[in-house]
Amino acid sequence: MVDSEQPPPPAVWPASSHGFELVRSEYVSESSSHVALYRHLASGAELMSVRNADENKTFGVTFCTPVHDSKGTPHILEHSVLCGSDRYPCKEPFVELMKGSLNTFLNAFTYPDRTCYPVASTNLRDYYNLVDVYLDAVFAPRARHDPDVLAQEGWHHDLARPEGPLKIKGVVYNEMKGVYSSPDAVNARSITQELFPDTTYHHDSGGQPSAISQLSFEEFRAFYSKHYHARNARLWFSGDDPAERRLEIADAYLSRFAAADGERLSVEAQPLWTRPRAVELPYAASA
């Protein structure tokens, strides 16, 4: 819980430290928090540092991930980056953290326009470990050079027996088959897609089953390289942990990138409608 009394501010937000420059800072009375926005000079990444009396320390890294098809690349990547990395080469570090850490929150989310990786813990040592595992996962995942990860988390052909039928399987593929078997889910997705036909929201970032099986490893790797560059990343830290240590931790990963090699992506605006439009779309008859 956040203390109702205003916490003492950091003596001074460092104007520059560990490769970051201070963009601006302010006090947010609603959450009794001192907030600073930093920009990483080498990579162009942005970092929001929130200092308050909350012992439940939180961290997250978010990437802008708009799409131009419904192959589910952001969703598959969200699963895939948590399947081992350079520093943590075990098969499922996410599962190991769920079993062995003191986390108060541990998850990842795919939205139509962004992908988020948040963690939280009240134990400082555990918190730093969670942050490091997640930073290594998004910036140095095994998935960027191992096609087996895409096959496992995205899709692959499965032949149970030589004379049997050839089937498509995969974690995300199977998950989205379940989603598209629900008329309510199809209806909700269709409304958004038809309201925003000229934007990323017209496509399903989670993936349509028929489109997921069209995703190649080359497309998968290219999407990662473009969207998971540090310049396209926004990081945040919040809680009672040392403010300058946050910059040091982030710089260890961000300093590997050059801003000139990446781009900060954005989401286009949908032009206003000038007249009503009726749409009829199919859904699973057996749902």
Helix axes 124-139, 243-254, angle to 10 degrees: 20
Scanning the structure block, which residue is given the tokens 């801003």? 259
Determine the distance from the C-alpha atom of residue 84 to the mean position of all C-alpha atoms in its chain, rounded to a whole number. 16
- Selecting among 21, 153, 194, 280, the annotated active-site residue is 153
Token pair for 90 = 């075990």
Cα separation, 21 vs 259, in Å, equals 14
Does the annotation mark 5 as catalytic?
no
CA distance 38 to 260: 18
Our answer to whether residue 21 is catalytic in this structure is: no
For 31, half-sphere exposure in the C-beta direction (CA atoms, 13 angstrom radius) is 12
Residue among 78, 194, 219, 263 flagged as catalytic: 78
**Crossing angle for the helix pair 93-100 and 124-139, nearest 10 degrees?**
170
Active site amino acids: 78, 153
